[in-house]
Amino acid sequence: MPQANRFRHQAYTPTRPISPHYLLSPGSYPVVGSKPFRQRMREVGAALRAEGVAAIWLVHGSLDGPLAVRALAELARVFPAAGPALRRVIHRLLEGPAGEVAQFTDRYASALDSGVNPPGQRPIPVHLFQWSGENHHLGRADAAVRLIDELADLELRPGQRALLWGHGHAGNVFALMTNLLAGHSDAAEQFFQSAEVYYRWPILGLVDIPVWQRVRRRLRSGRSPLEGAALDLVTFGTPIRYGWDSGGYSRLLHFIHHRPAPGLPVYRAAWPPDLNDVLNAAGGDYVQQLGIAGTNSVPSVFAWRAGWAERRLGRLVQPERDNGPSPEPFCAGAIVPDEGTTLLVDYGEPGGTIAQHHAGHAVYARKRWLLFHAEEIVRRFYAAQACMVA
């Protein structure tokens, strides 16, 4: 999306994306913890320090139920004839050991931290940012507000950089954040007014979620909460939802697990997907393909303020979907965002059950690919300082 996006949602079309995208295969990488792994991770850390990266954030995706369950349930809704078979698969998935493989974990953060921070070097702290993980506009909006607040508290200096990695819908948290940080005060005010019932009691006017009011004031001041520091954003398997505002970030990169379908251009996914392919993640990340507009959860009926704010935010960030879900966006097979650079990565077939690979969505959080991701980020963002050859 161009500058001044103002919370516009990305359209779903089968046409060639306007942003650069590349198909690649990682090949083999040294075992995590081995001497070659440690050496190459130290080189990554050196490149980050040379470029002024002051901190790294890892942000998890949606947590309100197994990700692949929601994707398969949406597939059953769009194709009722496949419902019985899909429901059997969902039952198997819910019985399976999901474990920690589908999200960034403390152990993952520790591996990244120790890798880029050898003794004697200026540390680049690695933070795990926690949010509700709720799969709706308000959940992601609340995370965007809280993330801005946390970044502002770090008090980065001009010339320093913050590097953010977002799994799944965390990338859409980032997208909302770029719209807020872009400096368009009227658009930001519309955002806060839409959600106001969530953080301020109607009639009484009491603010009971102060972080929203605090960030609103910061944005109203006309000064960026980041005070000139640069924001470098990386997404992993983020479904296409909100548009990005290029005035709200410095660099943007997307990793998407994808294996091209015969007869289709590399930037499109096959629709409808074959059930066996979904079970084996044969075509890549089906959660990224299916988690688009029309697949939100709804706040609890007991959280009436959240429900009210959700509806109002929906009219701002997703007005074209006000009449309910439609199969048309899925048929487009669009997987490449209109903003940033997209790497369509063939990680190979993951093996195991759908409960373990989450329809191809869990691959990004596997430590075996940590070095690949870290080196590729350095290549794409900090090439002048990179120690490795592209």
What are the residue ranges spanned by the domains of the chain?
Answer: 21-385
* DSSP per residue, 11-67: P--SSPPSS-EEEE-----PPTTSHHHHHHHHHHHHHHHHTTEEEEEEE----SS-H
Judged by average pLDDT, the poorest of 91-105, 152-166, 186-200 is 91-105
- Residue 69 is predicted with a pLDDT of 59
Which residues make beta-bridge pairs with 9? 242
pLDDT of residue 218 exceeding 50, the answer is: yes
- Residue 99 is predicted with a pLDDT of 46
Q: When comparing pLDDT for 353 and 366, which is higher? A: 366
Beta strand pairing status for 341-345 and 251-257? parallel
Q: With bands split at pLDDT 50, 70 and 90, how would you rate the model's confidence at 71?
A: low
Q: With bands split at pLDDT 50, 70 and 90, how would you rate the model's confidence at 100?
A: very low
- Residue 70 is predicted with a pLDDT of 57
What are the tokens at 205? 């006017």
Is the CB of residue 132 less than 8 Å from the CB of residue 300?
no
> Angle 318-321-323 (CA atoms, 0-180°, nearest 5)?
140
- Which candidate, 320, 326, 297, places its Cα nearest to that of 310? 297
**Residue position matching structure tokens 């309100």:** 64
What's the pTM value of the predicted model, to 2 decimals?
0.90
pLDDT of residue 20 exceeding 60, the answer is: yes
pLDDT of residue 78 exceeding 80, the answer is: no
- Residue 385 is predicted with a pLDDT of 46
Is the CB of residue 288 less than 8 Å from the CB of residue 170?
no
Is the CB of residue 141 less than 8 Å from the CB of residue 207?
no
- Which candidate, 311, 351, 376, places its Cα nearest to that of 22? 376
Distance (Å, rounded) from C-alpha 63 to C-alpha 133? Answer: 5
Contacts of 275 (CB under 8 A, 6+ apart): 82, 85, 86, 89
Is the CB of residue 95 less than 8 Å from the CB of residue 24?
no
Distance (Å, rounded) from C-alpha 245 to C-alpha 241? Answer: 13
Average pLDDT (234-241) is 97
Angle between helices 137-153 and 170-181 (to 10 degrees): 60
Q: With bands split at pLDDT 50, 70 and 90, how would you rate the model's confidence at 389?
A: very low
Cβ neighbours, 10 Å, residue 187: 18
Reported as a single tens digit per residue, the pLDDT across 118-158 is 999 999 999 999 898 889 999 999 999 999 999 999 888 88
- Residue 387 is predicted with a pLDDT of 46
Reported as a single tens digit per residue, the pLDDT across 29-45 is 999 999 999 999 999 99
Is the CB of residue 287 less than 8 Å from the CB of residue 362?
no
Question: Do you find a cis peptide bond into 325, omega within 30 degrees of 0?
Answer: no
pLDDT of residue 14 exceeding 60, the answer is: yes
What are the tokens at 309? 């704010």
- Which candidate, 245, 218, 244, places its Cα nearest to that of 4? 245
Cβ neighbours, 10 Å, residue 324: 6
Alpha helix segments (H runs only) across the chain: 35-50, 67-78, 83-95, 106-116, 137-153, 170-181, 185-194, 196-199, 210-220, 275-280, 286-290, 304-317, 328-332, 354-357, 370-381
Reported as a single tens digit per residue, the pLDDT across 312-359 is 999 999 987 544 557 888 999 999 999 999 999 999 988 888 878 889
Is the CB of residue 72 less than 8 Å from the CB of residue 90?
yes
- Residue 355 is predicted with a pLDDT of 78
Distance (Å, rounded) from C-alpha 122 to C-alpha 108? Answer: 21
Distance (Å, rounded) from C-alpha 140 to C-alpha 179? Answer: 13
